[in-house]
A and B are shown apart, each in its own frame.
Chain A
């Protein structure tokens, strides 16, 4: 399908296309920086590429045009993807596309922040993940990984002139001496409703939010820089910390992304187990999201009804499975770390039944509750077009009425063999986001049951000495085993040079890993495409004109996990 896009681009832009490349099935075209907006505009309008998934910078210090910026585009209607690349010399700039895709706004800021690539005419080109006083660009290869910086002053999100905007307004209208009319308040970083550390500075007129500006990066630890300093397998535990609520999903999608680059396919049993644990993680994530959101709305009791289930799944299933609850580190490149424990099926069934009871109880408490409906219906509405432009995926996009689900759209790990529905909402408001998640838990339960039916004995890891660790007997019993283990651990899996964008349906939406390998055991570049990041970029616009209480309810419903937002 993607080939068609390339052909169409070739016929439209002709020799402006510098080169075309296909790596691991991902089509990419290299275009000169200046024609980038035209290409993207064409793709959006003529080839219905509704979504700019991510903008990814890569640093190649040895090239003259040192930075490569990848624009990942997706057409949901045509089920195709294309990667438009631009090469930039250090100090040069490229035109922004934030007027074409709203998601480019934050994504370009991230590239600017971490690589120093400038975007011409960008409306708000500031640092986004790093502190505003940070010097240098962290992801450049010449930035030493150990180098820390001491940064203290919080950024002024709303600058002084804007800050006194209320003052000018009041002066003009009434000529009063006392200038203040609007009140500026920081919601976060240390606020009960932010569920992590993020900051929104709001300008309030009474209870109404007149202007909002958010700041993220409080949990930024430059996961991507860390990844470049570790072998491919050593990155696995770091992925636990992305979306720490559903770490299994991160594990599995990361592993499958690297496998895509390796060009290998894991055994059947491993795939099924990955699906089962992924869906369990999705259930956990949705449980936590909904219960926390309801707490924000003030319905505290629902929290325990859901949280108890989550705890049950953690203690009775996840912990016996991989030894810990949150930092699972379960998947391996080429398979899994452990096989299922005895009694796994029964434990899962028991907890799924409990979950269904809990969902019924919570639905009973809120579904027709007048207060709940008043608080959520038509609050924080986002239309499908806006949502697509902002790069929304997952439940938040489906709540607007579009049935885009990676598991159906581009099946991986054998999802095509499972029967399940993709629940969608109608208005894209807070209630829809909650209810879509509720329904998805039922669907996940159904997928898990189907997966358990499908389970057959078999290997859980690839029988491939260059990818999978040898079994322990062989390590302790034979010199070949020891050597194999030693090479894989100390040098890492030698992933062939190339690049691939592996993605899957995370709990909040599309979770992607853009992997660039230079043939050594360590990633040259590993970019996470967290679902939260584009979702949160729309937050300022959604809440302007609403009340504080609405902003809190919306923030809960879009499920921001600071771990993957800030990476």
Chain B
């Protein structure tokens, strides 16, 4: 059974089953192969981190459904044709909303992808920055990100000059 141990979902599922490193090493000692491929300790650690999230999600869902169910149970149900029309300041709606969406918003979405990805890439560097400094690789640490951010700044300046940031 060969599975990449970096495969998140598999790891996560296993983590749900095996929640303790000692436990894993004792009980599943014979399943050596599994222990090699799935670092049960890591799995347990991940379980500790992510099981609560699963619980929070389900709890939020339960709460939301509970609220909605309660209001469905308690609220009046006297719908009428007029009540169920879409609101447009009291005038019957002409035309739908299935228009070609305004190009502005599209541009913003593209720019967002660009810059948010940038931020995502900066995070690992930021985490390592201090240790890189401690390791004496100062100039490298800074210039590496300097080049990366610099390219993006050039991009920003370009977009700015092109007028993509103007709304009108």
Contacts and interface: CB of A to CB of B under 8 A. Distances in A.
Interface of A: 154, 156, 163, 170, 176, 178, 180-191, 199, 201, 205-208, 547
B94 A163 contact: yes
A206 B92 contact: no
B26 to A, nearest CB: 64
Interface stretch (B38-46, B83-91, B143-151): B83-91
Contacts of B72: none
B96 to A, nearest CB: 8
Contact of B99 (A183, A190, A191, A201): A183
B82 to A, nearest CB: 13
Contact of A181 (B90, B91, B99, B105): B99
A154 B90 CA distance: 10
Contact of B167 (A178, A191, A199, A207): A207
Interface string B77-107: 0000000000011111011011110111100
Contacts of A187: 89
B71 interface: no
Nearest to A158: B94
Interface in B48-91: 88-91
| A-B complex: 10 closest residue pairs judged by Cβ atoms | A206-B102, A190-B90, A180-B99, A186-B91, A191-B89, A186-B89, A190-B89, A154-B91, A189-B90, A186-B88
Contacts of B9: none
A178 B100 contact: yes
A201 B91 CA distance: 10
A201 B95 CA distance: 13
Interface string B94-135: 110111101111000000000000000000000000000000
A189 B95 contact: no
Given A163-B94, A184-B95, A207-B167, A170 B89 contact: no
B99 A547 contact: no
Binding site secondary structure of chain B: loop
A180 B95 contact: yes
Nearest to A155: B91
Given A183-B97, A547-B168, A205 B102 contact: yes
B104 A206 contact: yes
26 contacts: A154-B91, A170-B100, A178-B99, A180-B99, A182-B99, A183-B95, A183-B97, A183-B99, A184-B94, A184-B95, A185-B88, A186-B91, A188-B89, A189-B90, A189-B91, A191-B89, A199-B89, A199-B91, A206-B102, A206-B103, A206-B104, A206-B105, A206-B167, A207-B168, A208-B168, A547-B168
Contacts of B97: 183
A547 B88 CA distance: 18
A271 B140 CA distance: 86
Contacts of B167: 206-207
Nearest to B96: A180
Contacts of A191: 89
Contacts of B92: 154
B100 A189 contact: no
Contacts of A185: 88
Contacts of B94: 156, 163, 184
A185 B92 CA distance: 11
A378 B167 CA distance: 17
A322 B95 CA distance: 51
B146 to A, nearest CB: 33
Nearest to B97: A183
Contacts of A201: 91
A205 B90 CA distance: 22
Contacts of A547: 168
A188 B89 CA distance: 5
A233 to B, nearest CB: 37
Contacts of A170: 100
Contact of A180 (B89, B90, B91, B100): B100
A24 to B, nearest CB: 44
A176 B100 contact: yes
Nearest to A180: B99
A166 to B, nearest CB: 8
A178 B89 CA distance: 26
Nearest to B98: A180
A181 B97 CA distance: 10
Contacts of B90: 186, 188-190
Given A176-B100, A180-B98, A547-B168, 17 more contacts: A163-B95, A178-B100, A181-B100, A183-B99, A184-B94, A184-B95, A186-B90, A186-B91, A188-B89, A199-B91, A201-B91, A205-B102, A206-B103, A206-B104, A207-B104, A207-B167, A208-B168
A163 B95 CA distance: 9
A299 to B, nearest CB: 22
B168 A178 contact: no
A181 to B, nearest CB: 6
A255 B103 CA distance: 57
A84 to B, nearest CB: 39
A467 B168 CA distance: 61
A156 to B, nearest CB: 8
